[in-house]
Amino acid sequence: MLTTLRTHFGHDAFREGQEPVVRALLEGRSALAVFPTGGGKSLCYQLPALLLDGLTLVVSPLIALMRDQVEALTAKGISAARLDSTLDAEQLQDVYTRLDANTLKLLYIAPERFANEAFRLRLKRLPLQLIAIDEAHCISEWGHNFRPDYLKLAKICRGLKVPRVLCLTATATPKVARDIRKAFRIAVADHVQLSFHRSNLDIRVTPCSVTERKNLLLEKLNASNGSAVVYVTRQETAEEVSTFLVKNGLLARAYHAGLPAEFRADAQNSFMCDETRIIVATIAFGMGIDKSNIRAVFHYNLPKSLENHTQEIGRAGRDGEYALCEMLACGDDLTVLENFIYADAPSPRALGNLVNRVLRLGPVFDVSPYELSTICDIRSGVVATLMTYLEIDGIIEATGTFYATYRVKLLNTEAKILAGRSPAERKFIKQILDAAELKRWWLYFYPTLLAEKFNTSRAKIVSALNGLQSAGDVILSVWGVRNGYRVKKDPGDLNVLTAALVEKFQSRERADIVRLQQVLGLSAYRGCLTGYLTKHFGEKLDSPCGHCDRCRGVPSKMIKRPKFRRVTDEEIALVRSLVDEKHAALNTPRQLARFLCGMASPAAARARLTRHSAFGLLAALPFSEVLTVAEVA
């Protein structure tokens, strides 16, 4: 074990916590490793992967992280690969060839890959020895980054009869850790948790008003040295704050999901290379960022939870040197954060509509997540969660994900494309080309419909189109994701089922509000702030940390909500005028309230109502008050 550690990873000894995790896996037991950010989680599965006789599957939520890990392992001479949406047909085939030849030691995938039935069947034929699940807190409904596809992993692992599973996370509360251990049958003795106390992090909370916050941030950035990350809640805030900092002489860039991919990549690379000192970002920035010399992390807006806060400040000072972690705590943020929580929850009517729509499609069906989201006016993440709940309850089973539409531009004449092929192949390809729908310069194909028309398999149609692209005969693009399912058992009374789902979503809503209250508690806490944070993760410090605001004598302070103004007669008139316009996307009080709070629902976005002058009209008011206005309008 130590020889392999030294030979492949260049370490003479394990870091704290790594050896007991590795030994548990090598002895055939599953384990949970809760290591703070930068604690060396990856080695806990990479080393066993080399020592076990078979394949290690690594489930990771981020393509960039998978790519970096595979490149690093390959550079060490370790056989590793990834399967993700960025690979072309040739690259995919290469990975599958190596899998079938049993020459791969580690394969990285996203959790959504398990939705592919063919992939699950392939895994059953392989010598699968270990599944490592990164960001394992996503498994728990109470984890701060809950992802529905993670919820299915325990059931999938049991179906694959995996000998051992390793769950890894940097942020698991005792409740979340219990959920993970229960799901994967991990013994308490094989739950290895390191201390969340990092002595080089200076923890501060500075209550402030919305009017003074920008200048306060500027002052603090000017007083600090080195790279800094400023976390904000909204995309427009990232742009606004970064522009303000640049105007005041600081090298800053914005980073958020609304930017084109090349802009995000350029901003990140610039920051990593120290060309940009400050990155102003939403939570879209951070996972997989391996920069050791970040000297400061500022929360310009309140984080949604202590888990988010801890994960984000964990990116500071990974080199062990001093780093400042400061929250600029403004009560005005509470309304926006709470509105996000309330506005995201689907109404009972919308949930019932979705359940009825899906479970009346027949024993085998496929759906477009985008269409379901828009028609039922439920956010796509909630749609995915609901479908996962139905899978967990054994009502449906995923069969695969595919694209509805293939678009082709010919690079050669039809004669050249068909030349040199066998008669049967020429006939089949000509059949497909003749059946295409021509729109301007492009040919459109719908493989499911073509398969029915020609009495063949959808896979054969898709393979032919991909073959034309590989041969350089066409340019091919795809879109319109559809998810396939089969019904496994009678769902029973759909009203009863819907009521149970409504309660699940309402429980999550209540839990999210509690998380936000815990963030407020940090500012009001009279004791050691580091102790407050570690206690949240089940760890009690022996003594105050000595490097936080309270330990320096800075007094606690309650974060106060701003006094809410009353809705004006003019605003009520505007709302009534909006109602009179009779927009289908705003025909329920909850839909209207979300719109007035500036929350773009799927139906409103599709109807382009976000350009309407009334969008966000009452964004400064609590959702409950706006809902009351919507109900009487």
In terms of domains, do 74 and 118 share one?
A: yes
Domain-located, residue 22: yes
CA angle, corner 406, sides to 405 and 407, nearest 5? 120
Q: Look at residue 144 in the predicted model and tell me its pLDDT.
A: 63
In this structure, are strands 474-487 and 364-367 parallel, antiparallel, or unpaired?
A: antiparallel
- 3-state class (DSSP) for residue 122: helix
Q: Look at residue 143 in the predicted model and tell me its pLDDT.
A: 65
Tens of pLDDT, residues 190-222: 999 999 999 999 999 999 999 999 999 999 999
Percent of the chain at pLDDT > 90 equals: 68
> In angstroms, what is the C-alpha Rg of the chain?
27
**Distance between CA 110 and CA 168 in Å, rounded?**
15
What's the helix, strand, coil split of the chain in %, to 5? 45, 15, 35
Nearest to 176 by CA among 133, 143, 136, 134: 143
* CB distance 138 to 60 below 8 Å: no
Tens of pLDDT, residues 425-439: 999 999 999 999 999
- 3-state class (DSSP) for residue 628: helix
Domain-located, residue 497: no
Domain-located, residue 321: yes
**Distance between CA 55 and CA 127 in Å, rounded?**
6
**Residue 627: half-sphere exposure toward Cβ, Cα within 13 Å:** 9
In terms of domains, do 300 and 219 share one?
A: yes
In this model, does residue 552 exceed pLDDT 70?
A: yes
Domain-located, residue 499: no
Cross-strand partners of 206: 328
In terms of domains, do 188 and 55 share one?
A: yes
Domain-located, residue 256: yes
In this model, does residue 379 exceed pLDDT 70?
A: yes
Reported pTM: 0.83
**Distance between CA 270 and CA 251 in Å, rounded?**
10
Per-range mean pLDDT, top range of 54-68, 131-145, 170-184: 170-184
Considering only residues 8 and 44, tell me which one the structure prediction assigns the higher pLDDT: 44
Residues 6+ apart with CB under 8 A from 51: 1, 4, 26
Residues 6+ apart with CB under 8 A from 322: 200, 202, 295
Q: Look at residue 529 in the predicted model and tell me its pLDDT.
A: 98
Q: pLDDT band at 88, cuts 50/70/90?
A: confident
Residue 425 CB neighbours (<10 A): 13
Q: What is the mean pLDDT of residues 31-60?
A: 92
**Residue 302: half-sphere exposure toward Cβ, Cα within 13 Å:** 28
**Distance between CA 513 and CA 143 in Å, rounded?**
14
Q: Determine the residue type at 271.
A: F
* Domain-ending residue, one of 193, 217, 234: 193
**Distance between CA 136 and CA 123 in Å, rounded?**
21
**Distance between CA 69 and CA 62 in Å, rounded?**
11
As a whole number, the mean pLDDT across the chain is 91
Q: Determine the residue type at 484.
A: G
Domain-located, residue 509: no
In terms of domains, do 131 and 207 share one?
A: no
**Distance between CA 61 and CA 63 in Å, rounded?**
7
Of 286-295, 344-353, 415-424, 504-513, the least confident: 286-295
Q: Could you report how far apart the first and last alpha carbons of the chain are, in Å?
A: 70
DSSP state of 563: P
The number of distinct structural domains making up the chain is: 4
In terms of domains, do 208 and 128 share one?
A: no
- 3-state class (DSSP) for residue 442: strand
**Distance between CA 28 and CA 2 in Å, rounded?**
19
**Distance between CA 440 and CA 559 in Å, rounded?**
59
Tens of pLDDT, residues 55-82: 999 999 888 788 888 998 999 999 999 9
In terms of domains, do 188 and 274 share one?
A: no
Q: What is the mean pLDDT of residues 608-627?
A: 92
Cross-strand partners of 477: 407
Q: What is the DSSP string of 144-159?
A: TT--HHHHTHHHHHHH
Q: Look at residue 564 in the predicted model and tell me its pLDDT.
A: 83
In terms of domains, do 54 and 180 share one?
A: yes
Q: What is the DSSP string of 63-104?
A: HHHHHHHHHHHHHTT--EEEE-TT--HHHHHHHHHHHHTT--
- 3-state class (DSSP) for residue 299: strand
In terms of domains, do 434 and 451 share one?
A: yes
* CB distance 485 to 397 below 8 Å: yes
In this model, does residue 139 exceed pLDDT 80?
A: yes
* CB distance 214 to 250 below 8 Å: no
In terms of domains, do 175 and 281 share one?
A: no
Q: Look at residue 7 in the predicted model and tell me its pLDDT.
A: 81
Q: Domain holding 292: CATH number?
A: 3.40.50.300
Crossing angle of helices 348-359 and 369-376, in 10° steps, is: 140
In terms of domains, do 110 and 175 share one?
A: yes
Tens of pLDDT, residues 282-293: 986 766 577 889
Q: What is the mean pLDDT of residues 227-243?
A: 95
In this model, does residue 39 exceed pLDDT 80?
A: no
Q: What is the mean pLDDT of residues 496-509?
A: 92
Nearest to 304 by CA among 140, 176, 143: 143
Q: What is the mean pLDDT of residues 395-405?
A: 89
Q: Look at residue 288 in the predicted model and tell me its pLDDT.
A: 58
Q: What is the mean pLDDT of residues 533-541?
A: 95
Domain-located, residue 515: no
- 3-state class (DSSP) for residue 326: strand
In terms of domains, do 466 and 398 share one?
A: yes
In terms of domains, do 10 and 48 share one?
A: yes
Tens of pLDDT, residues 558-569: 998 888 888 999
Residues spanned by the domain of 450: 360-487
Domain-located, residue 338: no
